[in-house]
Amino acid sequence: MSKSDTVLDEVVQLLIEVVGEDFLLDLEITRDTTFSDDLALESIEFVALAEKLQHRYGGRVDFAAFVADMDITEIMTMKVGTLVAYIEERTTAARSAG
Amino acid sequence: MPFTTARDTRFHMVELASGRTGEPVVMLHGLFTGSLASWYLTAAPAIAARRRVRLFDWRGHGLSERTRAGYGASAMADDLDALTSDLPPFAIVGHSYGCVVGLRFLQTRRGRVRRMALVEPPLAEVAEPVPAGAAPPGDRQRFTPARLRALRADPSSRRVRGLLENTTLLDDLAAEPPVTDEDLRSLAEVPCMVIGGAGSPYAPSLERVRRVCPRVRGHILDGGHDIHVTGADDVTALLAGFLGAARSEEATHG
């Protein structure tokens, strides 16, 4: 399994924790899945996901900084893959620096 | 996920830049469809670049516990007090009803608020004098049957339905005493800024606040009641300037 797949799997797992397994039943989450249109994520659920990411990855992932330059529409219509790529970039950078 | 229990209620609370020193900023959301996300996904990250920022979901909102009662501004000011008891004096940024709660907090906890930024405060409809013997105007008047139907029909508003059907929120709002001019004069005790949406039904609030407190800074932006979302860039810039000014004033006055 590649690193990206690992991060994607972890994001999916955190999404399940946020919205519940039943809600995502029969829905395959890929990098092209959007948070708003495909997952119907509410904004407060997006915040909950951000908090879980922060807890999972610690200071390596600064979600608030990541979205600071986006408007709320950009945030909510973001693809899962965009978030995964950001996490991958940040964790790779942290590993290189360390 | 960060939850804290205060006043026998479980609150969802988030802090950005928690290690930053200096005057914290507490950002308060409005009722019904409001949640801390309305700040977290708009102005809060930029403000957190210079300030410690605390956000929480009011009871019954976002991810906080929905209690049967406790939704009047005074009760919510008590919630605010409990949820900020560990903070030094702080700045308040409120949207909509969060402004009213912030005002009640300012009135009853003097010395704990350093500055106030009010975004779309719903103060216009209580501007009329109350006729003797008449019931005080309450917020229930703002929630027409059509608006309530729209809230219930919105599939993303299951939390709103829960509030309407399982809490005393509307009754609490109806029982809320109006914000008087005397109440508004409290705003003169701290630096205060009001931001309104030109297309909002509450736009006259700014005129009223400035009539009572001429030194209040006021800004009208293109947009409606959700100006902090639809006009996030402009609102964020105004807030950052207003809150950032705290640093130079602190430096000046020690």
Pairing of strands B3-6, B90-95: unpaired
Query: Which residue in B96, B100, B118, B112 sits closest to B24, CA to CA?
Result: B112
Are B31 and B61 in contact by the 8 Å Cβ rule? The answer is: yes
- Identify the architecture of domain A3-97 in CATH: Orthogonal Bundle (1.10)
Q: What is residue B124's predicted lDDT score, i.e. its pLDDT? A: 77
Q: What is residue B33's predicted lDDT score, i.e. its pLDDT? A: 87
- Residues of chain B short of pLDDT 70, as ranges, are 1, 125-157, 245-254
> Do residue A51 and residue B38 have CB atoms under 8 angstroms apart?
no
| Among candidates A40, A51, A75 on the partner chain, residue whose Cβ is nearest the Cβ of B41 | A75
Domains and CATH numbers, chain B: 3-253 (3.40.50.1820)
| Among candidates A40, A44, A51 on the partner chain, residue whose Cβ is nearest the Cβ of B35 | A44
Q: What is residue A4's predicted lDDT score, i.e. its pLDDT? A: 54
Q: Which residue has the tokens 């810039």?
A: B237
pLDDT at A76 over 90: no
d(CA B36, CA B197): 20
Are B88 and B18 in contact by the 8 Å Cβ rule? The answer is: no
Q: What is residue B162's predicted lDDT score, i.e. its pLDDT? A: 86
Q: What is residue B156's predicted lDDT score, i.e. its pLDDT? A: 53
Q: Taken in order B148, B153, B159, B162, is the CA torsion positive or negative?
A: positive
Query: Which residue in B179, B7, B171 sits closest to B104, CA to CA?
Result: B179
Compute the mean pLDDT over every residue in chain B, rounded to the nearest whole number.
86
Q: What is residue B138's predicted lDDT score, i.e. its pLDDT? A: 39
Are B161 and B185 in contact by the 8 Å Cβ rule? The answer is: no
Max alpha carbon distance in chain A (Å)? Answer: 40
| Among candidates A47, A52, A64 on the partner chain, residue whose Cβ is nearest the Cβ of B37 | A47
Are B139 and B174 in contact by the 8 Å Cβ rule? The answer is: yes
Q: In this complex, how many residue pairs, one in chain A and one in chain B, have their CB atoms less than 8 Å apart? A: 50
> Do residue B63 and residue A44 have CB atoms under 8 angstroms apart?
yes
Are B20 and B243 in contact by the 8 Å Cβ rule? The answer is: no
- Residues B108-121 have pLDDT tens digits of 998 999 999 999 99
Domain ranges of chain A: 3-97
- Residues of A with Cβ-Cβ distance to B48 under 8 angstroms: 64
Count CB-CB contacts under 10 A for residue B108: 13
Are A10 and A1 in contact by the 8 Å Cβ rule? The answer is: no
Helix (H) or strand (E) holding A54: helix A43-57
Which residues make beta-bridge pairs with B192?
Answer: B116
d(CA B55, CA B35): 9
- Residues of A with Cβ-Cβ distance to B157 under 8 angstroms: none
Provide ipTM, 2 decimals: 0.87
- Residues A15-48 have pLDDT tens digits of 989 988 777 777 889 999 999 888 888 889 999 9
Q: Which residue has the tokens 């931001």?
A: B195
- Residues of A with Cβ-Cβ distance to B16 under 8 angstroms: 64
What is the least distance, in Å, from the CA of A3 to any CA of chain B?
A: 25
Chain A nearest-CA residue for B15: A51
Residue A31 CB-half CA count within 13 A: 12
Q: What is residue A3's predicted lDDT score, i.e. its pLDDT? A: 57
Are B90 and B42 in contact by the 8 Å Cβ rule? The answer is: no
Rg (CA), chain B: 17
Q: Which residue has the tokens 């229990």?
A: B5
Query: Which residue in B26, B29, B146, B42 sits closest to B87, CA to CA?
Result: B26
Are B46 and B235 in contact by the 8 Å Cβ rule? The answer is: no
- Residues of A with Cβ-Cβ distance to B63 under 8 angstroms: 44, 48
Q: What is residue A1's predicted lDDT score, i.e. its pLDDT? A: 52
- Residues B141-174 have pLDDT tens digits of 444 555 555 554 564 567 788 888 899 999 999 9
- Residues of A with Cβ-Cβ distance to B45 under 8 angstroms: 64-65, 67-68
User: Tokens standing for A16?
Assistant: 């399940």
